[in-house]
Amino acid sequence: MKTIIEPFRIKSVEAVRTTTIEQREEIIKSAFYNPFLIPAEDVLIDLLTDSGTSAMSSKQWAAMMDGDESYAGSKSYFKFEAATKKIFGFKHIIPVHQGRAAERILFTFLLSDIDAEGRFVNSGSTKYIPNNNHFDTTRANIEFNGGNAVDLVIEEGKHPEVIHPFKGNMDTNKLTEFIKTTGAKNIPVCMITVTNNTGGGQPVSMENIREVSKICKEHKIPFFIDACRFAENAYFIKIREKGYEKKSILEICNEMFSYADGCTMSAKKDAFANIGGFLAMNNEDWYSNCKNLLIITEGYETYGGLAGRDMEAIAQGLEEIVDESYLHYRIHSTKYLGDKLTENGIPIIQPPGGHAIYLDAKAFLSNIPADNYPGQALTAELYRLGGIRAVEIGSVMFGKYDKDGKLIPADMELVRLAIPRRVYTQSHIEYIIEVLCEIKKNKDSIRGIKIIEEPKFLRHFTAKFGLV
């Protein structure tokens, strides 16, 4: 059978509000053309993010009722710990309220010196952290702590139209050269993000993970994985990498993380949870220091900012995510959207990724220059015409300014259509295709965007825009 059906049944539904184009024109204007500032009740289909927006299963909801809210030694923590160790295998698991908290703790420790009183003193300006591609909060946490975030994705990963089975791979030649020129002592950790969110939700091969791990070990550099979408990455390895066809998703995950010294994880993605995450590692000294930071900023070591019921939901979600039938549906339903857009001449990052489709706004709106932010303009039009909320991943999110205040554009100008897990049906996907086809008919009339107010870090969340 060629038809891909959802491997679940819907037991509860939520009504959504329908608005007119005229209403949406006023709403997007009032939100200063920033989708993050649109009230959720005014959104018909929300593709802003797949983080914390999944539909939890009946077993997850049932598990939440069993949550133990004890401050210390909660039985829910030990269930959570066992579920994470089964997949990731690391010795120490530190729960946090979401992935960026894990990043903040890790990078505060790695980019600081510890003084005689045990306080963390920033020393990050000479420290560099390479990755295939850092995503927004990872980069921000590194830069906020004075460090330098460096992207070393393979060349194929920089070109939306190029087909490659593992466009998320890190360029190992560039990594070796970077270590040589920078000095291993100035690289406190090397990371790989799976799947590569900034690069279009593209997977990383097991071979690449293994090779990066080998290079790091040779230079005594710790190697961490940003594991937000680890299961989707494992499925791509299973269907695309020779020698993994008959391995289970759990076996592939176990091997992936066996090459690493630790990981950061947002459980709001592949664990189906609405909140939560963790920082995991094997190093005893690192664990001790990171645990101290956790207790100061998040909570005690057996809850870390999470309610016991949330740890229960994460533990159950980690059991469900390694189900191959679900991953088969997830990857192929995303591919369906990407293939249909391609058939209709709408440029996307090829091949379709795991959790999202990335529209190539630079190619789609070629009449709008980078300094008029074509990706942001496209997100505004998606909402205006169809009530669809998406997010720009281009020069708004990753652009910088030179010393004269001129924009240094991002490598790509993208719009991410992030698909929440187990939330939308086939008719929603067909509607998205229809709206984008309508946009294509009048794309030359879409106006560019200008920034009228912005913060220093993570500006895409709160910046205000106007039409050019």
58-321 topology per CATH: Aspartate Aminotransferase; domain 2 (3.40.640)
Q: What's the pLDDT tens digit per position in 323-346?
A: 999 999 999 999 999 999 999 999
The residue type at 101: A
CATH 3.40.640.10-classified regions of the chain? 58-321
- The domain 21-50+323-467 is placed in CATH, from the list 3.30.300.30, 3.40.50.720, 3.90.1150.10, 3.30.70.2170, at 3.90.1150.10
Give the pLDDT confidence score for residue 20 in this predicted structure. Answer: 97
What are 194's two structure tokens?
């799976």
User: Do 257 and 282 touch, CB atoms closer than 8 A?
Assistant: no
Q: For the whole model, what pTM was predicted? A: 0.94
User: Do 319 and 56 touch, CB atoms closer than 8 A?
Assistant: no
Q: Give dist(CA 413, CA 159) in Å, integer.
A: 11
User: Which residues lie closer than 8 Å to 175 by C-beta, 6 or more apart?
Assistant: 130, 152, 190, 212, 215
Ranges under pLDDT 70 in the chain: 1, 115-119, 123-124
Of 425, 357, 315, whose CA–CA distance to 16 is shortest? 425
Residue 363 CB coordination number (10 Å): 15
Is the N-terminal amide bond of 195 cis, ω within 30° of 0?
Answer: yes
User: Do 87 and 250 touch, CB atoms closer than 8 A?
Assistant: yes
Q: How many helices (DSSP H) and strands (DSSP E) are in the chain?
A: 16, 18
Of 89, 62, 92, 87, whose CA–CA distance to 77 is shortest? 92
Give the pLDDT confidence score for residue 113 in this predicted structure. Answer: 78
Q: What's the pLDDT tens digit per position in 232-274?
A: 999 999 999 999 999 999 999 999 999 999 999 999 999 999 9
Give the pLDDT confidence score for residue 126 in this predicted structure. Answer: 86
What are 403's two structure tokens?
């010393």
What are 408's two structure tokens?
């240094």
User: Which residues lie closer than 8 Å to 402 by C-beta, 6 or more apart?
Assistant: 408
Q: What are phi and psi of 411, to 5 degrees?
A: -60, -35
Give the pLDDT confidence score for residue 421 in this predicted structure. Answer: 97
CATH 3.90.1150.10-classified regions of the chain? 21-50+323-467
Of 275, 342, 214, whose CA–CA distance to 51 is shortest? 275
